[in-house]
Amino acid sequence: MIRIRKIKTIAEFHACEDIQKAVWNFEDREIIPVNELITIQRIGGAVLGAFEPAGKGAGDRLIGFCFGMPGRLDGKTFLSSRMLAVLPAYRGMDVGFRLKKAQREFALDHGYDLVTWTFDPLQSVNAHFNIEKLGAVTHDYLVNVYGHSTSILNRGLDTDRFLAYWHVKTARVEDHLRSKSETPALDSLFGGSGVGHPEDVAQVNETFLDDLGILVSGPAKLKFATRWLLVEIPPSIQVIQTAHLPVAQQWRYKTREIFLAAFKKRYTVTGFITGNAPARGGTLNAEVSRRRSFYLLERTK
* Contacts to ligand COA by CB under 6 A: 23, 84-86, 91-97, 119, 124-126, 128-130, 133, 235-236, 274, 291, 293
Minimum distance from residue 56 beta carbon to ligand COA (Å): 27
Q: Counting beta carbons within 10 angstroms of the beta carbon of residue 72, is it exposed (0 to 12), middle (13 to 18) or buried (19 or more)? A: exposed
Instruction: Return the SS3 of 257.
Output: helix
Pick the closer one to ligand COA by CB: 80 or 126: 126
Minimum distance, C-beta of residue 198 to ligand COA, in the bound complex (Å): 25
Taking phi over 0 as left and psi of -120 to 50 as alpha, with beta for the rest, 209 belongs to beta
User: Nearest distance from residue 298's CB to ligand COA, in Å?
Assistant: 20
10 vs 182 by CB, closer to ligand COA: 182
Question: Which CB atom, from 9 or from 179, has the smaller least distance to ligand COA?
Answer: 179
Output 41 or 236, the one with its CB closest to ligand COA.
236
Least separation, in Å, of the C-beta of 63 and ligand COA?
9
Burial zone of 130 (CB within 10 Å; 0-12 exposed, 13-18 middle, 19+ buried): buried
Which residue has the CB atom at the shortest distance from ligand COA? Answer: 96
Nearer to ligand COA, 224 or 238 (CB): 238
Q: How far is the CB of 103 from ligand COA (least distance, A)?
A: 12
DSSP-derived pairing of the beta strands 61-73 and 46-52 = antiparallel
CB of 233 to ligand COA, least distance (A): 9
From the list 161, 93, 104, the residue with the least C-alpha distance to 135 is 104
49, β-bridge pairs: 5, 65
Choose among 166, 195, 150: nearest CA to 298.
Answer: 195
- Long-range CB pairs of 245-252 (<8 Å, 24+ gap) are 245/155, 245/156, 247/210, 247/214, 247/216, 248/122, 248/156, 248/157, 249/156, 249/157, 250/216, 250/217, 251/122, 251/216, 251/217, 252/122, 252/157, 252/158, 252/160
Pair 31, 67: CB distance under 8 Å: no
What letter represents residue 52's amino acid? E
State in angstroms the smallest separation of the CB of 122 from ligand COA: 11
Are 127 and 233 a contacting pair, CB within 8 Å? yes
Give whichever of 41 and 274 is closer to ligand COA, judged by the CB atom: 274
Nearer to ligand COA, 161 or 254 (CB): 161
